Structure 1
Amino acid sequence: MTTQLPLHDALTQIVQAAGNDLWVTGGSAALMLRGLPLASSPRDLDLYCDDEDGAELHHRLKQYALNTPHYSESDIYRSTLSHYAVGGWRVELVAGFQVAAMGCRYRVEVKEVLLPLGEAVTFGDGESITLVPLAHELWFNALRGRADRVETIVGGMSLHREKHWTAMNAIEERNGFPNGYVTQVHNWINQEEGGDRDWTLKYASSLQAGR
């Protein structure tokens, strides 16, 4: 995929400073780079790396740093965060990201899973980055209860469904997802082929009922 979107300058500067071998791009900016519809423009640019690579990437990006890496933990998230200002964009580097919700625990593995199974984006002057697999976006947004984002992602996956199953299987095999929930998520993908979007309403309702 080749792109010339507003993120181009920021991503070019990041690649020139930090290389492209230790991190991937995710979140709404990555969905925008894929051309998927968003309700609003991305507010920042999310980069993911493994915990052991956070300090090295911070060193490479230090000229743009707004703060130093700091551990962050909430009810469902755990990571080490640092922030940068690059090319007019606020950039968040998320190291060692974990999500625990819905009886699931998802540990993000960049070098082992997301980098080799992600989608490359090449810019006009030759730089390239890797977008997280849509399988990651699906599981992440399912676990945090973003039914609107899940619907967008499933719509993108349905265009070339077969190419996403390798990443789906890798993520599911390496994390603690209950079988019933895995089946439910797979059903969302399979139902998209027939145009059945009722699952989004059922999903949102079940989340509300469980709170």
Structure 2
Amino acid sequence: MAGLAAVIAALERIWPENRAVNVVFHGHSVPAGYFATPLIDRRASYPHVVAGRLAERHPHAVLNAIVTAVGGEHSESGARRMGEVLGHRPDVVVLDYALNDRVIGLGRAGRAWESMIASVLGAGAVPVLITPSPDLTADPTDPADELVRHAEQIRGLAERDGVLLADPFRVFLGLHERGEPLAGLMSQANHPNGRGHAIIAAEILALFAETEPAGEGSRSE
């Protein structure tokens, strides 16, 4: 959590020593805020939930949540747009592409994620990798399912590169295994509803909570 420690320190600074802290959310339609397409609900989407909770925890922070996500995009396209992302001078870049990466396959997706991670690290920012939210056409219990395999690849990249991982797929799988219908967390087959977005946000916020001073955050988001 060393990288996030510097971000938390920046969030804790008080005027006139403070500065803008930029968290960029880069990905596909889910971070872009699509619920039941074409409906967009940015306020309930996880980037804005994360930003709101961080602002509550750090009331002196100038915190910018910047969404560069594009509906329908996969990680190869996202990698080509990293110049746009880095132009925002991010402190943190959250990467979320697994749902759409099934179109391009594990090999191409893996190379694109590696490129994005390297770009973020090279800019001195903190990458946060996100495992996918559900797709009701996928079987989260089947190791051979493409979505499961992409989730596992993302975990492997995070471990290999020593970067942060938020793993909402693990949480959704646990709920499914305990008998909760995943449909109740979805706006449509491949887009979460507000409850689903809250789960993703909680996993990201937990990373910040582990780094914040005692009493500032918790894992019970």
TM-score after normalising by structure 1: 0.31
Higher relative contact order (CA 8 A, sep 6+): 2
Q: Kindly indicate which of the two structures has a greater share of residues assigned to strand.
A: 1
TM-score after normalising by structure 2: 0.30
